[in-house]
Structure 1
């Protein structure tokens, strides 16, 4: 292990030295070209203004590049590398445009391709490499600090959410309702008792097994949902009807995500045997879409703790977003599948 670490350190050290030598060489060449073909006057305010504006272009290019790249990539090396490259291209374009417009409208001079290249090289070596590097470092460490705080907050929310889920699933009225259903089946439909007990056991076994995990396979979650809905239908008969059509069960999902969505649909929407509430679950590309008819029970108020927890979990841990949509006829939840 020490040998591997020493080799890695030596390789990184050599890479850093090579980069330093290259930057120094380009800087010396730039200063040489400036001395040979031009001149910079320290006491000329226009040169200072030009330098300050170039630094602002560098900062803006880097900041915009970071905001764009950070939304698409989470790996540190890829994010930093792509940000640097995109910022370099953006900076080159902006400074070239500014340089051309300045010469044309202020000094009434033409601009050649060689002059544009020289201006880009000069701006990169004297300003951009430093400004962009400092900006990326600041944004990276600020983002890392924010992420650490978000993860800490998410862990607290997770503990609270798990506590409430466990309390809810073990609370007396939940047990009483299902035991009442079991008692009723034992008298009227004894042939269904064994299946009910199996589903009841599967629901608790799944939760106790997976409530501490961050993700679970989609297949396991779907099997769990089938057991959960069997309990619901034994209790409410045909008041709540689930249509689940997912053939591709690859990928992963946060445990109990589908259960929470189904529970919210049942709890907050009216359903009866005469007018059942239809709930559909389907997979559309890399999303699970849950849709139910919108029949809100006005007397109930939702804390939205579960929805907020799921949104934070997917966003912070997986850089994915859950969406909740309400139309005049339906309530729709779109859950990303973790690959």
Structure 2
């Protein structure tokens, strides 16, 4: 007497749902058709009922666990919602391979180890074929129910993930818009420009040119998914020129980018986010200057570092801008940022996408 249990798993194919009640209800239901068959075939006797029902509970519980193991194996191989066909075909093929050899053995054992003396040797092939058919039918019926449950679970997970990605996209778009019209940055830049106009008109002209370059990049590249590292480096040089004009000797930067990586791609405004976070969370003083370093490494990644000299205020474990940037890389299907804080230096390793 064969049935099955098909635990629905979470997205990584590792955790089964709670199916205790299904087993409690399903195992007796799987046994009843066989008990009825024996009673109609050999006579209605309470001893026959007790024997076949007891034997059925034990054998069905055992094969249930075997098929449960098989289902979990198949779902580990074909966990994706889009792998529905491969998963169903492989799972049900396993049901057949387990059921067809097992059921005739059980039928033979029940008829030859009869304690009631009521069961005669099973008629071959009629009884054997009937038992195999009933076992396969129930296994496939319950299997279809559980596969439906698993598919619905996957569908709910896909909807949840889509909502999360949609939220991250909206947040990214909002942050990009803030970057384009950041009133604080613009206000500080205009203040610096105003001071330069009266003090050094030549420097004021250079400052205005770099300010125009920054906002041109923000308007042109802010909505793109990827941009060449070459463009990003040119932008961050202009951006840091404005920052350095404002802070003077209290801040400095080093950019060392190997030319062979300049055509590699990354999300626009990545460097601006990292620089802005360094400025937001660290003290910038003439007696304690902040040094920003941007360089490529041989593995084809961009390394951005700064010394840790935190301002005396409470901050989140991961800066807000970095959290949004991390979500942006995930949404684009890029390798994750590698963030390291050893208490002395803050390091972010940015993956670059080869063209």
Instruction: Identify the TM-score tier after normalising by the shorter chain.
Output: 0.5 to 0.7
Please state how far the C-alpha of 1:270 moved relative to its aligned partner.
1.5
Contact 2:302 2:352 in 1 (8 A): yes
In the alignment, is residue 332 of structure 1 matched against residue 347 of structure 2? yes
Query: Would the alpha carbon gap of residues 217 and 317 (structure 1) be closer, same or farther in structure 2, given more than 3 Å must change?
Result: same
Q: TM-score, normalised by structure 1?
A: 0.62
* Other structure's SS at 2:332 match: helix
Aligned partner (choices 174, 177, 181) of residue 160 of structure 1: 174
Gap change, CA 1:138 and 1:332, over 3 Å in 2: same
- The answer for unaligned runs of 5 or more in structure 1 is 1-40, 71-75, 100-122
The within-5 A match list for 1:203-214 is: 203-214=214-225
User: 2:307, 2:346 within 8 Å by CA — same for their partners in 1?
Assistant: yes
Q: Tell me the equivalent position of 1:227.
A: 238
Contact 1:282–1:290 at 8 Å: present in 2 too? Answer: yes
CA drift at 1:208: 1.7
Q: Residue by residue, what CA displacement relative to the aligned partner does 1:29-76 show, whole Å, maximum 9, x if unpaired?
A: xxxxxxxxxxxx996445423431232213322444467xx7xxxxx8
| SS, match of residue 238 in structure 1 | helix
User: What does 1:172-321 align with in structure 2 at a 5 Å threshold?
Assistant: 173-247=184-258, 248-284=261-297, 285-299=299-313, 301=315, 304-318=319-333, 320-321=335-336
Shift in alpha-carbon separation, 1:63–1:335, aligned structure 2, 3 A: farther
Q: Which has the larger radius of gyration?
A: 2
Pairs within 5 Å for 1:16-165: 44-45=56-57, 47-65=59-77, 80=83, 137=151, 140-165=154-179
Q: Distance in 2 between matches of 1:224 and 1:257?
A: 11
Contact (CA 8 Å) 2:179, 2:218: kept in 1 or not?
Answer: no
Structure 2 gaps, min length 5: 1-51, 103-135
Instruction: Number of aligned residue pairs: give it.
Output: 255
Distance in 2 of aligned mates of 1:260 and 1:66? 39
TM-score for the superposition, normalised by structure 2: 0.59
Give the Cα–Cα distance (whole angstroms) in 2 for the partners of residues 233 and 58 of structure 1.
Answer: 64
Residue deviations 1:100-124 (CA, integer Å, cap 9, x gap): xxxxxxxxxxxxxxxxxxxxxxx9x
Query: Kindly tell me: are residues 232 and 300 of structure 1, through their superposed partners in 2, closer, same or farther at Cα, counting changes over 3 Å?
Result: farther
RMSD: 3.8
Query: Is the deviation greater in 260-269 or in 45-54?
Result: 45-54
Label 1:46 to 1:150 Cα distance change in 2 as closer, same or farther (>3 A).
same
Paired position in structure 1 for 2:119: none
Per-residue CA shift, 1:192-243, capped at 9, x if unaligned? 3332222100111111222222222222111111110111111112221211
Q: State how far apart, in whole Å, the 2-side matches of 1:147 and 1:230 are.
A: 40
Q: Distance between the aligned counterparts of 2:188 and 2:158, measured in 1?
A: 47
